[in-house]
């Protein structure tokens, strides 16, 4: 069975993929990594202490080697990407998170809110690449009711019935529910009826209350984020999960975050991909902090792959990491590069110097030159096969 024949995550298929680096080839000068390597080769679960050792090790190449071993055991050389379009309907937000360069207070001249017509037009621009996914996130607008977002989604589905709609972070869903005086479950059911197919993973940041109270104190807390994701998973939605790193958190906070995600995944199985996101300080209230370095970015990918043994995919989000670091991450545990994006606002407001979008051809070149095999997927990791003017999804 090849990736193009169906669902792209199949442990049995991937376990037999040739080319997995052999355990006997593992070398490290850090003795703390030896027992961790033994667990990895035996496919045993790593502990919180193991996570701290992985973060603390100076032998980052050995950490990456182990993560790559797991990545190849699960996916061989397959590396996934999709053709998607980001839509950010508004940057007006009540939360004022210190980590954010995107949100604007109501009345701020730099604030914007699309009309429904503008949002649908934004969706249509860039559609020539046969987009398979709309990725929709935005600010917590004080005046836009749930009905606005339901109309937005109804209108998108009417105009683009084949496009998967991945919309609204757990933070947005909890906010919309509160505003509409509905439960999270009721809100999710309404969103599903309108056409929302799955959810992205944003807003998780770092769950540790000490950190969260400083970087995003107006947002839902970590427990509520997890509970909202739990409810979505119980209703059958697939979601992703992120972790924002490189600000004031420490290694213990990162490990705690990852293990909380792992515990929820054990319970629901609803997460598809883990996406570590580097903090970009420019234009935020924390702009005195330095930006992350390449090795820190690479290590997040590797530790994520090793601790999150029940997550099918680890995504190197090229918009945030830069295409060059994301490409290297494909050898450090990542198996997904996200998508073409077309127009990214959130990281670019925070000073990201990456292009705002990439073509399918450019993404394939990045993957191929990393010695991997590009596989275009849809949002739910079904292979997409294209002809000149149409595409089909293997289900
Ligand atoms: S991170 Fe999200 S919730 Fe916080 S201010 Fe920015 S847009 Fe608003």
Pick the last residue of a domain from 57, 73, 89: 73
Q: Which residues pair with 80 in a beta bridge?
A: 336, 375
Residues 40 and 122 in one domain: no
Residues 144 and 68 in one domain: no
Report, as ranges of residue numbers, the positions in the chain whose pLDDT lies below 70: 1-21, 126-129, 341-356, 387-395
Give the ligand 1 atom nearest the CA of 172: 3
Residues 69 and 131 in one domain: no
Residues 88 and 53 in one domain: no
CA dist 367 and 80 (Å) reads: 9
- CA–centroid distance, 136 to ligand 1, in Å, is 14
Tell whether 100 is covered by a domain: yes
- The pLDDT tens digits of the residues spanning 38-64 come to 999 999 999 999 999 999 999 999 999
Residues 183 and 50 in one domain: no
Pick the last residue of a domain from 31, 48, 73: 73
Q: Is the CB of 171 under 6 A from ligand 1?
A: yes
Q: Is the CB of 93 under 6 A from ligand 1?
A: yes
Residues 65 and 84 in one domain: no
Domains held by the chain: number:
2
Residues 159 and 234 in one domain: yes
CA dist 17 and 15 (Å) reads: 6
Tell whether 144 is covered by a domain: yes
Tell whether 5 is covered by a domain: no
Output the pLDDT for position 354.
Answer: 60
For the whole prediction, is pTM greater than 0.85? Answer: yes
CA distances from residue 285 to 109, 253, 279 in whole angstroms, order as listed = 18, 21, 12
What are the residues whose beta carbons fall under 8 Å from the beta carbon of 278, sequence distance 6 or more?
Answer: 244, 245, 246, 291, 292, 296, 297, 300, 320, 321
Tell whether 301 is covered by a domain: yes
Give the ligand 1 atom nearest the CA of 101: 6
- The pLDDT tens digits of the residues spanning 183-216 come to 999 999 999 999 999 999 999 999 999 999 999 9
- CA–centroid distance, 56 to ligand 1, in Å, is 31
Output the pLDDT for position 218.
Answer: 85
CB atoms within 10 A of CB 327: 21
Output the pLDDT for position 316.
Answer: 96
- How is residue 91 annotated by DSSP? -
CA distances from residue 309 to 21, 107, 245, 263 in whole angstroms, order as listed = 18, 45, 20, 11
Output the pLDDT for position 388.
Answer: 59
Mutate to test the pocket of ligand 1, among 108, 219, 221 (most ligand atoms within 8 A of CB): 219
Q: Is the CB of 138 under 6 A from ligand 1?
A: no
CA dist 294 and 376 (Å) reads: 26
- CA–centroid distance, 30 to ligand 1, in Å, is 40
Domain that holds residue 58: 11-73
Residues 69 and 86 in one domain: no
- How is residue 320 annotated by DSSP? H
Q: Is the CB of 244 under 6 A from ligand 1?
A: no
Q: Is the CB of 174 under 6 A from ligand 1?
A: no
Tell whether 306 is covered by a domain: yes
Tell whether 6 is covered by a domain: no
Output the pLDDT for position 360.
Answer: 83
Residues 323 and 268 in one domain: yes
- CA–centroid distance, 275 to ligand 1, in Å, is 18
Residues 91 and 155 in one domain: yes
Residues 65 and 103 in one domain: no
**Three-class SS of residue 179?**
helix
Tell whether 2 is covered by a domain: no
| Calculated CA dihedral for residues 347, 369, 37, 71, nearest 10 degrees | 70
Pick the last residue of a domain from 73, 91, 125: 73
Tell whether 4 is covered by a domain: no
Q: Which residues pair with 339 in a beta bridge?
A: 82
Q: Is the CB of 100 under 6 A from ligand 1?
A: yes
CA dist 47 and 70 (Å) reads: 16
Q: Whose CA is nearest to atom 2 of ligand 1?
A: 139
Residues 213 and 340 in one domain: yes
What are the residues whose beta carbons fall under 8 Å from the beta carbon of 148, sequence distance 6 or more?
Answer: 116
What is the CATH classification number for the domain harbouring 252?
Answer: 3.20.20.70
Residue 117, Cβ density class (10 Å: 0-12 exposed, 13-18 middle, ≥19 buried): exposed
């Amino acid at each position: 069975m090849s990736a193009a024949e169906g669902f792209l995550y199949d442990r049995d298929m991937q376990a037999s993929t040739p080319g997995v680096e052999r355990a006997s080839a593992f070398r490290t000068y850090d003795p703390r990594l030896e027992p961790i390597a033994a667990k990895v080769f035996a496919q045993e679960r790593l502990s919180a202490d193991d996570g701290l050792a992985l973060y603390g090790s100076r032998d980052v190449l050995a950490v990456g080697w182990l993560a790559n071993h797991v990545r190849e055991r699960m996916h061989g050389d397959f590396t996934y990407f999709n053709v998607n379009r980001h839509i950010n309907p508004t940057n007006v937000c009540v939360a004022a998170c210190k980590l954010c360069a995107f949100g604007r207070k109501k009345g701020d001249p730099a604030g914007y809110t699309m009309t429904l017509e503008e949002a649908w037009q934004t969706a249509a621009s860039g559609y020539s690449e046969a987009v398979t996914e709309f990725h929709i996130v935005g600010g917590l607008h004080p005046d836009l009711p749930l009905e606005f977002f339901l109309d937005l989604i109804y209108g998108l589905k009417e105009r683009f019935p084949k496009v998967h709609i991945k919309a609204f972070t757990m933070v947005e869903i909890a906010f919309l529910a509160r505003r509409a005086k509905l439960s999270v479950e009721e809100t999710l059911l309404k969103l599903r009826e309108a056409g929302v197919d799955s959810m992205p993973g944003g807003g998780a940041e770092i769950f540790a209350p000490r950190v969260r109270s400083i970087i995003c104190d107006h947002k839902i807390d970590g427990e509520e984020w997890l509970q909202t994701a739990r409810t979505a998973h119980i209703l059958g939605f697939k979601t992703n999960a992120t972790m924002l790193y490189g600000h004031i958190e420490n290694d213990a906070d990162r490990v705690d975050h990852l293990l909380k995600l792992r515990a929820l995944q054990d319970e629901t199985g609803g997460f598809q991909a883990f996406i570590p996101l580097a903090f970009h300080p420019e234009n935020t209230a924390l702009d005195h902090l330095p930006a992350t370095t390449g090795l820190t970015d690479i290590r997040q990918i590797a530790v994520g792959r090793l601790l999150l043994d029940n997550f099918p995919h680890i995504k190197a989000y090229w918009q945030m990491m830069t295409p060059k670091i994301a490409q290297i991450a494909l050898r450090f545990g990542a198996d997904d590069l996200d998508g073409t994006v077309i127009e990214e606002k959130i990281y670019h407001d925070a000073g990201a110097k990456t292009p705002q979008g990439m073509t399918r051809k450019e993404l394939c070149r990045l993957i191929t030159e990393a010695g991997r095999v590009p596989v275009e997927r849809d949002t739910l990791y079904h292979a997409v096969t294209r002809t000149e003017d149409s595409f089909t999804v293997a289900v």
